[in-house]
Amino acid sequence: MGGREPLGVEAVAELSPQGPLPIRREAGAGSVFAALDLGTNNCRLLVARPLIEGGFRVIDAFSRIVRLGEGVSATGRLSEAAMARTVEALRVCAVKIQRRGATHIRCVATEACRRAVNCAEFVARVRRETGILLEIITEREEASLAFNGCAPLLEPGWPRAVVFDIGGGSTEVGWLGLEGAVPELLGWLSIPIGVVTLAERHGSAKLPETLYDAMVEEVAHLLRPFAASHGIAEGIAAGRVQMLGTSGTVTTLAGVHLGLPRYDRNLVDGRYLDFAAIRRVSAALAAMECAERAGNPCIGRDRADLVVAGCAILEAMCRLWPVGRLRVADRGVREGILFDLLAQR
């Protein structure tokens, strides 16, 4: 497919948060949107048609754990094995994009590619072998897309919100004002810790409580200055703050908490998780061997060695910001891209 025009764009303007999206009539057959998010751990694609009433209807999707960022924190390079796995997944995405006749396309890559010294080589290989043109976005762009992608799940009536996205190589946190017609990003932070980087440093075996607490503190240390500068604790004490999380960590924990026989997005997206349930499930997972975690149908082998690192990152936020519960979003960067493409159409 290397001889075709590239599937992607070089730059797309930042989007604004959108409200709830009805799924009704398609706005004709002319436009088809494709949004691809290549992260440190996952490769995800959504293909959708715009709707007359606003919003979109998903007509195709793909998700695969590729671990593109495996070892990058130690070597500074994308490994040959990781690149090969990722290119195979991107070939599947390219076929879906072309088969669906996508007319508006954006394909982005995040932390692993931002860090890797051989990123340009990888991007060229992807374009040559799949036809996909990857756009390496900044931390701020990633945060903006993720927050806007899950913004429809923010509850009205709360003046402020903490919104976060726990990734493979980084974690983004946003402080949103909700008093206007659309959410306003008052502040944001990206820390260079994600589930892959933290797990690579601390391992995936059963963790003693002292080591788990040390992981939590490592993350909390990086979050405290941001929290203090925005007065987040004071807002929480006044009962003015809600919390919304988007990531494999929060969706996995929700599935485990619900005891689902297999992961079901329809039962998880928009679900509320009490902090007590988060702590209970996190403690249980940290006390398990990796093989035992892999036996849970909502975790599986691909996530078993990463889920406890995600729990530690989430626990740091729960301890710093005791809102009491959070809303789970099984949506993020891809949906943010789709909203952006809708705005530009």
Q: Domains, the chain, ranges and CATH?
A: 33-137+334-344 (3.30.420.40), 141-333 (3.30.420.150)
Question: Which pLDDT value is given to residue 208?
Answer: 85
SS3 of 129, please?
helix
Question: Which pLDDT value is given to residue 206?
Answer: 85
Residues of the chain with pLDDT under 70: 1-29
Question: Which pLDDT value is given to residue 29?
Answer: 55
Element of type H or E holding 106: strand 104-109
Buried b (16+ CB within 10 A) or exposed e, 78-95: bbeebbebbbebbbebbe
SS3 of 185, please?
strand
**Distance separating alpha carbons of residues 344 and 87, to the nearest angstrom:** 29
Query: One-letter amino acid identity for 148?
Result: N
Q: For 129-159, how does the pLDDT look when each residue is reduced to its tens digit (9 = 90+)? A: 999 999 999 999 999 999 999 999 999 999 9
